Amino acid sequence: MSRLRNAFGVVSRREETALIGFVMGGDPTPKYGQRIAEALIRGGVDILELGIPFSDPIADGPTIQAAAVRSLASGTTSNTVIDLAKTLGRHYDIPIVLLTYYNLIRARGIQNFMEKASGSNVDGIVIPDLPAEEAEEYKETAVAYGLDTIFLAAPTTSVNRLSRILELTSGFLYLVSLTGVTGARSEIQIRTLELVKRFVKLTKGKVPLGVGFGISKPDHVRQLVKAGVDAAIVGSSFVDIIAKNLEDIEDACTNLEVETRRLKEATRNS
């Protein structure tokens, strides 16, 4: 059993829903990457998601795009983020997922990337621009290196295509809860909750379901818990905290830890 699936099992036995926390690796600089990640870990995330900055992040909204710009400007590379995962693995027993775009993997070489990641405490990879229909070579290599391939599904995903995605995804299925790009929203729409409930029925007993895009408040998390998801994925609201405290990393880390605790507490309410 992979560490991701094991983590979901542990959380389920505690009668909780998993909290997956995203930050952009190297934001605002590689110097502070470990401290920021540790703030989320101390706050209680069950799975840590680290973004590798990319110049053309098609799935990301303004908040995460700005984080990628800061990270790239500070000299962050894929090696920087993977090395951060390795460093965190020396101190914490927490699954780590990378979010990256396929160009970065292809440029490095699929096998080289997987070899580096698998030896650096990385458990799975999310690639927003890799469709299931074109993932055969990638998936085979990931399996060979013991890495979970986490595919995304969207409100527009057909039933037939979802069946194929469910055959390929491992670790969990990442449900994009709305059309558009990432970014914190003020509330979850009724149609989004209806979508989530539909996906819960389709994934139950097959693969854990994580829901992201727009999840930013404890009330959002509580609604997802009530809908029966296995994980709430939070990113933009964490990145917002970093952006508002660029001049004071101590305040950034303190606020990140506090906000993570608030969100994690919401996973315990059914």
Q: List the CATH number of the domain containing 183.
A: 3.20.20.70
39, part of any domain: yes
In a domain, 269, yes or no: no
**Residue 26, in any domain of the structure:** yes
In a domain? residue 268 = no
- Of 31-40, 143-152, 189-198, 244-253, the one with minimum mean pLDDT is 189-198
Whether residue 59 lies inside any domain: the answer is yes
**Tens of pLDDT along 197-240?**
999 999 999 999 999 988 989 999 999 999 999 999 999 999 99
User: Given a cut of 50, is residue 62 above it in pLDDT?
Assistant: yes
For 20, the domain range is: 3-260
Q: Does residue 126 lie within any of the structural domains?
A: yes
pLDDT band at 150 (very low <50, low <70, confident <90, very high): very high
Catalytic (active site) residue 60: yes
Mean pLDDT over all residues of the chain? 92
Residue 183 has pLDDT above 60, yes or no: no
Band of pLDDT at residue 59, cut at 50, 70 and 90: low
pLDDT tens-digit series, residues 87-131: 999 999 999 999 999 999 999 999 999 999 999 999 999 999 999
Of 16, 27, 46, 60, the catalytic one is: 60
Catalytic residue among 16, 27, 49, 259: 49
How far CA 188 is from CA of 23, 195, 227, in Å, comes to: 22, 11, 12
49 is known as an active-site residue = yes
User: Tell me, what's the pLDDT at 85?
Assistant: 98
- Tell which residue, 123, 257, 125, 240, has the closest CA to residue 182: 240
Residue 267 within a domain: no
Residue 190: predicted pLDDT: 73
Which DSSP helix (H) or strand (E) runs through 159? helix 159-168
Count of the separate structural domains present in the chain: 1
Residue 266 in domain: no
Instruction: Output the pTM of the full model.
Output: 0.94
pLDDT score, position 159: 85
Sequence-ordered alpha helix ranges (H) in 78-158: 78-89, 102-108, 110-118, 136-144
- As beta bridge partners, residue 212 has 176
Q: In the predicted model, what is the mean pLDDT of residues 54-83?
A: 90
